[in-house]
Structure 1
Amino acid sequence: MRGAKILITGPAGQIAFPLAEHLAHDNEVWGIARFANPEDRARVEAVGVTTRAVDLASGDFADVPDDFDYVLHLATFQGPGEDHDHALRVNAEGTGLVLAHCRSARAALVMSTASVYRPHDDPHHAFAETDPLGDARSPHAPTYSISKIAEEAVARTCARLFDLPVVIARMNASYGPNGGLPAYHLDWILAGQPVVTRWDPCPYSPIHQDDINTQAAALLGAASVPTTVVNWGGDDVVSPQEWCGYFGALTGRTPEVVVTEMPGTHRGSILSAERRRAITGPCAVGWREGMRRLVAERYPDGFDASAPMAGQAGTLLSAYTRDDADVEAPAGDGTTPTR
C-alpha cells in the first residue's frame, strides 16, 4: 500500500504501533486516541504519524479529517471490573462513531478477537469464522468478549448503512518485540516468575507482527458489503508449554509452567487459517523463527538486564496469580485500552 491516507485508532497499542510505523513509510498515516500519557503520543509522532487526541466513545471528531482512504480500527477497552456499560460504549458505540465519521473511506478493518468464540471442549478444535459465538472469560477484563461481539454487530451494521466495505479480523495470539502473550511469558520467565496457563494442552495460532504488517493491506482489499469476517492468526499451532520450552532453550532459563484449570474458559484457541490464507497467502514467519527474534529484539542487552515487569505483562501476571482468578489468557488481539 502506497500513497494512501490512513487512519489508525489506538496507534500506541501493542499491535497498532508497529503497524503504524510500517505503514507510515509509504503513506500518510493519522492516529487517534486519548493519549493520556504524553510519552505515548510523542512516540507515535516520532515514527511519522500525525496524531489527534480523541476520546472515541465521545463521538467528537471535530479535529479529525473525514477523507481517509482506509481505516484501521484497533483501539479497544480491556479493563477490570464488571462495567459492561462502559465497555459497550467504547468497544461497540465507539466503533460505530468512528465508522460513521469515516463513511467515505474505501475500506475499513475492524480488529476483533478470537475471544468472541464460544468455548469448545476439544482443545484441538480449530475455530472457523462460522462457529458459534459466546461470552468467553478474559484476564483482567470480564467485559471484553461480550463487548467485542457487540462491536462486530455494530461494524456489520455500519457497512450496510453507509455502503462502507468492512473486514472484521479476529486476532489470535499476536507477538513481537512490542508485546503479546508469548512476549509476556518470556518476561515472566526472565523475571523468575511462573507461567500460568489454564489448560494442558492449550494451543494457539500465534502470528508474528511482521506478518500482521504485511497482511493488513490484503485484508483491507477483502473488505466488503456485507462485511467479510476472517480469522487473523498464524499458520502454526503452538501451545504455551512449547514456546516457553523454546524460550528456555534460547535463554538458558528453566521455565516453570503452572497449569491452573479454569472452567468456562477456552481449552484451546486454534483458528482455522483457510479463509485468511486465501486472502493473504501463507505467513512468512514460522513460530520458531519468530520466537527467536522476539528474544533477541525484546532483550537486546542480554537477559541479566531485565527490567521489572510493567504494563500488560505485570497486569496479566497479577490476574493469573490472584486467589480468585477465574480468567482466561487473551486471544491475543493485544490492542491496548483506548488512551
Structure 2
Amino acid sequence: MLKGRKILITGATGEVARAIAESLAAANEVWAAARFTNAALRQRLEAQKIRTCTWTLGDDDFTGLPDDFDHVIHAACNIFPVANDYDASIRDNAEGTGLLMTHVRRAKSFLYVSSLAAYSEVPDNGTPRKETDPQGCHQRFAPSYGIGKTATEAVVRTLARIHRLPTLIGRLGMNYGIGCSGAPDFYFRDMMAGKPIVVPPRGVSYCSLVHNSDVVEWVEPLLAAASVPANIVNWTGDDWVDEREMVEFMARIARLSPKLVEDPKAGYYGGVADPTKRRAITGPARPWKQSFLEMLRANYPDHVFVDVD
C-alpha cells in the first residue's frame, strides 16, 4: 500500500480517477487537478483532505500546482467537446499531456490512463489485442477519441525518454463497479425503466471489462512497473464478454424481461484486450458475473436479484 507519498491525480472528477484519489487520500498527500465545474465534487474531495487545484488540460499555466510529486496518475481527457475536432483533440490531449509531463518531470513515476479505444478496428471485434497491435480507431461515440489517445501515447513515450521519467501507459477497458455509471449501468437503468433495449447482434460487439476496485488496487503495482522507455499494458480484467450476453445476463439475474431491439449499428464496441501482461504485474482480476451481481445489488438495493448459477 502506498503511504507517505505526494501524489497528483488529474481528471479527478471522473469516476476512475476519483476512486483512485479517494483510496489513496488517507495515507498520502493527494492532489487533484481538474476543471472542477462541479462544485459538489470538489467539496467531496476536499472533505477527504485531498488538495484541489483548478487546471484545464491543454493549458500551460500550472499556477498553484506543485512540481515535486512522487507519483503522477494522469487521467484527464477532453472527449466530447472535441468529439469531431481531431486537431483540437490532439492539441488539448496530446500537447496538454506533454506540458504536464514537463511540469512534473521530477516524479518517480508517471501513469497515463489511456484506453482500448487506441487500437484500430478489426473485422472480428472479439479478437484480443496485444499491446503491440495496430492503433488508430474512430469511436462511434466520439470519433476523435481514439486518435487523441494514440497521439497522446506518442507524446508520453517521447517525454518519458527525454525526461528519464519512469512511465506506464495503461489502456483501460470498460470500467464497472459499485457506484459506477458506464455502459453496464446505462443498459440496466433502461431495463428498470421498462424501455426497449437496443443491442448489437450476438457475436458482433465485445468488450474487456475491468472492475473499479481492481483498477484502484492495481495502481501501486502498475506504478512500480513504470519504466524508461514507457511500459505499455492493457489495463483490463481477465474477462471479455459479448455485449448482448452482458445485457441478457443482467436481465436474467434481475428477473426482468426487457424487449431487445437488434441493431447492427448499436453497441459500444469497447474491444477486447489480451490481459496476459497485466496479469503478470497485478495477478488475477475479479470474475465479471459475480461482480456484476454484487454491483447491481449495491446500486439497486430495493430490487431482488437471483444468485449467479
> What is the TM-score when the length of structure 1 is the normalising length?
0.83
| Alignment partner, residue 108 of structure 2 | 106
**How far off is 1:268 after superposition?**
6.6
Q: 1:275 to 1:183 in 2, by over 3 A?
A: same
Q: Which of 219, 223, 228 is the matching residue for 1:225? A: 228
Which residue is 1:122 aligned to? 124
CA distance in 1, matches of 2:259, 2:166: 46
CA 1:256 to 1:208, structure 2 compared with 1: closer, same or farther past 3 Å?
Answer: farther
Please name the residue that 1:72 is paired with.
73
Q: Is it true that 1:252 corresponds to 2:255 in the alignment?
A: yes
Q: Does the 8 Å contact 1:138/1:145 carry over to 2? A: no
1:37-186 to 2 correspondence within 5 Å? 37-79=38-80, 81-139=83-141, 141-176=142-177, 177-186=179-188
Whole-angstrom CA distance in 2 between matches of 1:102 and 1:297: 38
The verdict on how the C-alpha distance between 1:14 and 1:257 changes in structure 2, with shifts beyond 3 A counting, is farther
Aligned counterparts of 1:198 and 1:88: Cα–Cα separation in 2: 30
Over aligned residues, Cα RMSD in angstroms? 1.9
SS of equivalent residue, structure 2 residue 207: coil
Residue by residue over 1:129-149, the C-alpha shift from the partner in whole angstroms, topping out at 9 and shown as x without a partner, is: 01111223231x221111111
Distance 1:193 1:94, change over 3 A: farther
Q: Identity percentage over the alignment?
A: 39
Report the secondary structure of 1:159's partner residue: helix
**Aligned residue number for residue 307 of structure 2:** none
**Using the alignment, how far apart are the partners of 2:140 and 2:15 within structure 1?**
17
Contact 2:201 2:263 in 1 (8 A): yes
Aligned-partner Cα distance in 1 for 2:66–2:38: 23
8 A Cα contact 1:20 1:29, kept in partner? yes
Runs of 5+ in structure 2 lacking a partner? 305-309
Counterpart in the other structure of 1:211: 214
Higher relative contact order (CA 8 A, sep 6+): 1
Distance, in Å, in 2 between the alignment partners of 1:87 and 1:178 is 25
Contact 1:117–1:136 under 8 Å retained in 2: no
Change (3 A) 1:196 1:14: farther
In the alignment, the residues of structure 2 paired with residue 49 and residue 276 of structure 1 have an alpha-carbon distance, to the nearest angstrom, of: 29
Cα distance between partner residues in 2 of 1:90 and 1:268: 23
> What CA deviation, in whole Å up to 9, does each residue of 1:59-116 have, x standing for no partner?
1111001111000001111115522232122211111111111100000100111111
Query: Mean alpha-carbon deviation: is it higher for 98-107 or for 252-261?
Result: 252-261
Q: Greater shift after overlay, 125-134 or 16-25?
A: 16-25
**Aligned residue-pair number:** 300
Give SS of 2:90's match. Answer: helix
What residue identity is the alignment partner of 1:203?
Y
Distance 1:93 1:258, change over 3 A: farther
Distance 1:134 1:197, change over 3 A: farther
The unaligned stretches of length 5 or more in structure 1 are: 304-339
C-alpha distance after superposition, 1:261-298 (max 9, x if no partner): 249x9867111001101111111x21012111211222
Partner of 2:40, secondary structure, is helix
Partner letter of residue 105 of structure 2? R
Q: Secondary structure at the match of 1:149?
A: helix
- Equivalent residue number for residue 307 of structure 1: none
SS in 2 for 1:271: coil
Q: CA–CA distance in 2 between the matches of 1:259 and 1:93?
A: 40
TM-score of the superposed pair, with normalisation by structure 2: 0.91
CA distance 1:170–1:195, change in 2 (3 Å): farther
User: In 2, distance between residues paired with 1:78 and 1:222?
Assistant: 28
